[in-house]
Structure 1
Amino acid sequence: MADVLVIEDEDNIAVALDFLLTRDGHRHTRLATGGGALEHIRAHRPDLVLLDVMLPDISGYQIVQEIRADPTLNGIRVLMMTARGSVVERRKGLALGADGFIAKPFELAELRDEMRRLLQT
């Protein structure tokens, strides 16, 4: 069982993630905006962050950069999610320090496989 932080502003996607994470036995918390995300990550040390790229207040790219800039958070895995799943977006996310990148809408099996890969490293 992993501790997962979901940072996602779209309720329908958050509901699907809640279903998957609950069914798979993971503990999880959701933030609907990126504000306060870094403080939450520092305080709770999740095993995995599911991070939307396009948030209303701060870019997911900025959040992953800030996570990677803090050496005390280097063990936290970040899986970025975006509706704009282009190669350029993927490269940017990975270059900024994301451990994985998945395009929305995604198949739950695809997300589960990617989470499993990241949680095993």
Structure 2
Amino acid sequence: MRTEQAVVDGLGVFEDALAIDTAVNDTVAVSVHVLADQPHDDCNDFDHVVEASLHALSGRFIVMGCTDYLDDPARFEVPAGWTRTRVSRRNLASAVRRLESDEEPEATEEVRSHTKCT
């Protein structure tokens, strides 16, 4: 569901799925970390940080882009049940500028997900 808050957060939250917005419609660097404990506070290292709860009923996360085929994406085993996910994004402005110019080819948007399993 698209709400004003989802647009502000860059995060669509459903009971069993998260939709993460990106600043660019281009390749982004994505990392996923499944943790037993709360991640350390690194919010000052990122441009945008949000958190949400997710119900991993199957015990599996599937991470895919909007143009990926369901057979291709990375899969992560997690304990079945509720999890808390922190989505951190950085290099947002640089990634947008990179699309307009080749001056900053190393400025790729980075999306990092920390998931704490309860």
| TM-score where L is the length of structure 2 | 0.26
> Of the two, which has the highest radius of gyration?
2
More strand by share: 2
Higher RCO (CA < 8 A, seq sep 6+): 2
